[in-house]
Amino acid sequence: MSVAQREACRAYAGLAVQLAIMHAELAAGRPVDPEAMGQLGDRMDRQSRRMGPPRAPERKTLRDHLASRTAS
């Protein structure tokens, strides 16, 4: 993961926490600014685009796994 992607992930996590707090406030019956909620959603969408598509971890074949165990 590049530094830029890591920072985008960190920013996304912070926005997700803020949105979760707003949802909790809403669930508790407290007033929430719908405009602010919408802006957070938009910002999260932008950050997710900066992170790029998720990449699956590289999977070894059984043969490669066994070869790496005997080489150690």
Residue 41 tokens, joined: 């959603």
- pLDDT score for 40: 94
Residues 25, 41, 51, 14, Cα dihedral to 10°: -30
CA distance 65 to 22: 46
- pLDDT score for 61: 87
Are residues 8 and 50 in contact, defined by beta-carbon separation less than 8 angstroms? yes
- pLDDT score for 72: 58
Residue with tokens 């926005």: 15
User: pLDDT of 2-57, one tens digit each?
Assistant: 788 788 889 999 999 999 999 999 999 999 999 999 999 999 998 888 887 877 77
